[in-house]
Amino acid sequence: MTNALVTGTAIAVATGLVGYFMVLRSQVFTGDALSHVSVTGALAALALGVDARLGLFAATIAVGVGIGVLGLRGRADDVVIGSVFAWVLGLGVLFLSLYTTSRSAGNGAGGVSVLFGSILAVSGARARVAVAIAAVIAACVLLIARPLLFASVDEAVAEARGVQVRALGVAFLALVGAVAAEATQIVGALLLLGLLAAPAGAALRLTARPYRALWVSVALAVASVWGGLGLNSLAPRLPPSFAIIAVASAFYALTFLALPRRRGSKASM
Amino acid sequence: MLAVAGAHFTWNLADDFRQLFEFPFMVNAFRAGTIVAVVAGAIGWFMVLRRQAFAGHTLALVGFPGAAGAIWLGVSATWGFFGFCVGAALLIAWLRPERGEGYSEESSGIGVVQAFALACGFLFVSLYRGFLNGINALLFGSFLGVTNGQVLVLLIVGGAALTALAAVGRPLLFTSIDPDVAAARGVRVRALSVLFLVLLGLTVAEVSQITGTLLVFALLVMPPATAQLLTARPGVSVAITVVIGLLVTWLGLAVAYFTPYPIGFFVTSFAFAGYVGAAALRRGGRRRVIA
């Protein structure tokens, strides 16, 4: 439980930071794609017989950089993302079949923990590695936070002022890839999008001031993980991954109750 | 995939065709694949035009929690399934900001809808304690093991979806290309956008129950994306989409039949190759025009 709490907190800080910029830059679909790519990465590692984490990080970071390089100005069109990630999932099904035929046992359990995570199964050594990687990701985000914010809010002006917009975009997508691989370990590939998008989406609705929103996003992500683990210990039948995402989604939903929905222009319709 | 069946590829193509259709499950796979390719192509064409691939992917996934919840509660899976699909489609439509406001609110909303729906699915499955294998089937799926009844369901759903799409096709095309002018001409932009999302949700979710999300999503995105790279004329582009969809599906099924590897891999790979080819062709063409 201590391991779960420590790892979960560290990863939540990283997802809160990365998630904020991801939502600000409207790249949530990229996050969705990278979360599915992590399934392929893990399955490839299983098929090849290496540590699943190696496959996770290699696949998500490679695809993140690839999407960034292919897209205009380090951002990709959603059709490009959709096509690339449908194909990567196609590779995933190939690795799944290679894996299940090479290991004679019909091993579904490994796949399920990749899809839905297993925060309570994080052991001492794995926890230390995960915390270290989360710290590196968080440090990288904070290091590029200022220029990245500039580039995200006003790309043209940032470029005119000499900010390396394209390189920043690619570097940021590599960070999204790394955080996706990290979060897969606690909430799983299918659910990590909630941990990336919900706290950040809520933070952006709550305040328009960038740095405050960044910290609100981190706080909400950490609160989601703690709340989820708390719910799980109160009601053990609730899987922790579900509880974490439910708390995060609740925060997001609450911002709609607390604040009236912002509308662009009411006149046009 | 089916090397078990003793299928051997020979250069005698007539013999290969006989082998392909030897088993009823393969015939059903071709039937299901054909229906899905046509329907997904037509709806996906509008989805790609409207840049709603993320919404499409999310809607393809929400059928699973709906069905899982219904099974856990002991009611018919159909109810949960329609409830979740329509609910998610309406929610996404409601989150979609009117023009001018940034895109980020919509996309984070869709992300939350998707993650929460899948989390609910996981909860229902773990409460029900069973059918975890269904999750792999949902994600990756295949056309194999489709029954006669399911082919009928696919045919009915596909027919209904195509009819609805044909009915709103013209105004939908108008609003997708230029919402401002369409609104000025009295087209009900908002209503059409909600209607399209509900239509997308119902169709995609129903189809993904039978064939898995991967194949539906691949056929939804890649053929239209390829076709829209090749031509700007709407009618021709829809026709190319359907042709590409059918080709990659049939080819994928046939190749998978003679090799030990899964259909999903071949269908997505052929479709992706087509897309990359079209992109290269277009880029080369543009360079020549500039030069």
Cβ of A90 within 8 Å of Cβ of B265? The answer is yes
Q: Cα distance from B165 to chain A (closest Cα, Å)?
A: 21
* pLDDT number for residue B270: 94
| ipTM for the assembly | 0.84
Q: What is the separation of C-alpha B101 from the centre of its chain, rounded to a whole number of angstroms?
A: 28
* pLDDT number for residue A105: 46
Q: At what angle do helices A165-187 and A28-48 cross, to 10 degrees?
A: 60
Expressed in angstroms, the distance from the first to the final Cα of chain A is 53
Biggest distance spanned by C-alpha atoms of chain A: 64
Expressed in angstroms, the distance from the first to the final Cα of chain B is 48
Say how many CB pairs under 8 Å bridge A and B: 201
Tokens encoding B280 = 């290269």
A chain contacts of residue B102, beta-carbon cutoff 8 Å: 26
pLDDT tens string B200-249: 988 887 777 777 778 888 899 999 999 988 988 988 999 999 999 999 99
B80-89, B121-130, B163-172, B183-192: segment of lowest average pLDDT: B121-130
pLDDT tens string B156-197: 888 999 999 999 988 999 888 888 888 888 888 888 888 999
Higher-pLDDT residue of B289, B278 = B278
Residue written as token pair 């109750």: A257
Tell me the pLDDT band of B291, cut-offs 50, 70 and 90.
very low
Q: Cα distance from B148 to chain A (closest Cα, Å)?
A: 25
* pLDDT number for residue A39: 84
Instruction: Write the DSSP string, A142-185.
Output: HHHHHHHHHHHH-HHHHHHTT--HHHHHHHHHHHHHHHHHHHHH
Tell me the pLDDT band of B108, cut-offs 50, 70 and 90.
confident
Burial of A106 (0-12, 13-18, 19+ CB in 10 A): exposed
pLDDT tens string A159-176: 888 888 888 888 999 999
B chain contacts of residue A37, beta-carbon cutoff 8 Å: none
* Burial letters B72-93, b for 16+ CB under 10 A, else e: beeeeeeebbbebbbebbebbb
Q: How many CB atoms lie within 10 A of CB B190?
A: 16
Q: Cα distance from A114 to chain B (closest Cα, Å)?
A: 11
- Percent of chain B whose pLDDT exceeds 70: 85
pLDDT beyond 70 at B67:
yes
CA atoms within 13 Å, Cβ hemisphere of A170: 12
* pLDDT number for residue A110: 55
pLDDT tens string A216-251: 999 999 999 999 999 988 988 888 889 999 999 999
Residues of chain A with pLDDT under 50: 104-107, 263-269
